[in-house]
Amino acid sequence: GAKRCIGIECSDIKEHAAVIAERNGYGEVITFVKGKVEEVELPVDQVDIIISEWMGYFLIYESMLDSVLFARDKWLRKDGWLFPDHARLYVGGIEDADYKEDKIGFWSHIWGFDFSPMQEMVIQEPISDFVDVSAIATSTCCVLDLDLQTCRREDLDFLAPYSLTMQRKDFVHAIVVWFDVSFRAHSPPVVLSTAPGQPATHWKQTVLYLDDPLVGHKGDKISGLLAVRKSLQNPRDLDVKVSVDFRRKVGQVSKV
């Protein structure tokens, strides 16, 4: 086992963690430091391994990756390990008529009143929910691949192209987004996936609804750009935009 462990925690749970470590015989091994990663001082100059469960919805929404990269640059020795050490973000197209009608369409008919202006607002908000793998009507595409040993904070704001191919004749109501993180330094490598069809996690998947559904046949192409950046109002929030260029047998549709 490790000769020494140092945990950084900003909340009062640090006190409870210290008691638990003591009661289980690790009081001399595990040290807890209270505060923000960017502000604390550690009792050592370098560490061999950094372990953090920093992921948020959409991988980087409300995530703590910025703090992990700060810790990496300040304390991790040159040949040290970071766990997880890689992260990837994926997109696919889904048929989701029933859920879209339930969550968005109902605003057009509430007890006889027209609330349709609300639709324009709520459709702009991503939805976190579980997506059945059978709903995916397209191929999938990786839009972000991060090597956490070398990536920079600037890499977390990105503009990435994507290209999807219809796998069957169907509607596409939304773009679904998920991620995986991997521990490639481990032998054998271990992957934690939040993809549809994988064991459920609290991260679920992120659904970005289109204003109007696409109607495609097998082999039709959906492509575009995914633009992601930290919100100027709150850096833990994200601003996300998706452009859609739909190439089908009977014509082309472009949307943002």
Q: Which distant-in-sequence residues (6+ apart) come within 8 Å of 39 by Cβ? A: none
Alpha helices in 123-222 (DSSP H): none
pLDDT at 171 over 90: yes
Residues 67-90: tens digit of each pLDDT: 999 999 999 999 999 999 999 999
Catalytic residue among 15, 53, 101, 120: 53
Q: How confident is the model at residue 206 (pLDDT cuts 50, 70, 90)?
A: very high
The angle at the Cα of 67, spanning 200 to 153, to the nearest 5 degrees, equals 95
Per cent of the chain over pLDDT 70 is 94
Separation between Cα atoms, residue 43 and residue 225, nearest integer Å: 45
Task: Give dist(CA 196, CA 204) in Å, integer.
Answer: 8
On whether the CB atoms of residues 185 and 249 are closer than 8 A, the answer is no
Residue 234 pLDDT grade (very low, low, confident, very high; cuts 50, 70, 90): confident
Q: Is the pLDDT of residue 165 over 80?
A: yes
pLDDT at 156 over 90: yes
Average pLDDT, the chain: 91
pLDDT digits (tens, 9 = 90+) for 53-63: 999 999 999 87
- Burial (CB < 10 A; 0-12, 13-18, 19+), residue 60, is buried
Closest CA to 37 of 92, 74, 5: 74
Confidence of residue 253 (pLDDT cuts 50, 70, 90): low
The pair of three-digit structure tokens given for residue 205, joined into one six-digit string: 């998947």
Catalytic residue status for 53? yes
The whole-angstrom separation of Cα 222 and Cα 243 is 10
Indicate whether this model's pTM tops 0.85: yes
Residues 178-192, mean pLDDT to the nearest whole number = 95
Q: Which pLDDT does position 138 carry in this prediction?
A: 98
Query: What's the confidence (pLDDT) of residue 1?
Result: 78
Confidence of residue 122 (pLDDT cuts 50, 70, 90): confident
Q: How many residues does the chain have?
A: 256
Active site residue: 62, 101, 120, 125, which one? 62
User: Band of the pLDDT at 100, cuts 50, 70, 90?
Assistant: confident
- Binned at pLDDT 50, 70 and 90, residue 251 comes out as low
Which pLDDT does position 235 carry in this prediction? 81
Segments in 55-143 forming alpha helices (H): 65-75, 97-103, 117-122
From the list 91, 71, 103, 132, the residue with the least C-alpha distance to 228 is 91
On the question of pLDDT at 222 being above 60, the answer is yes
